[in-house]
Amino acid sequence: MITSVLASTVISSVLLFIQSTWLRNGLFWGVIPDLAFLLILWVAYNNKGFEGVILAFLSGLACDLLSSAPLGYSSFLYLLPAYAISFVRRVVDMDTLMVPAILGFSSTLLKGLASLLVALVFGSELVDSYSFSDLRFWMEAALNGAMAAPLFFLFKKMKYLLVTRKPSE
How much is the pLDDT for 166?
60
Determine, yes or no, domain membership for 101.
yes
Determine, yes or no, domain membership for 94.
yes
pTM of the complete model: 0.90
Angle, alpha carbons 125-56-167 (nearest 5°): 170
Q: At residue 169, does pLDDT exceed 90?
A: no
Determine, yes or no, domain membership for 166.
no
The answer to whether the beta carbons of residues 79 and 56 sit under 8 Å apart is yes
Determine, yes or no, domain membership for 86.
yes
Q: Which domain holds residue 49?
A: 2-160
Please give the tally of structural domains in the chain: 1
Determine, yes or no, domain membership for 42.
yes
Determine, yes or no, domain membership for 167.
no
Instruction: Give 20-49 pLDDT, tens digit per residue.
Output: 888 787 777 888 889 999 999 999 998 888
Determine, yes or no, domain membership for 152.
yes
Q: The domain that contains 62 carries what CATH number?
A: 1.10.1760
Determine, yes or no, domain membership for 10.
yes
- Distances, alpha carbon 11 to alpha carbons 14, 59, 72, 101, 168, in Å: 5, 10, 19, 21, 26
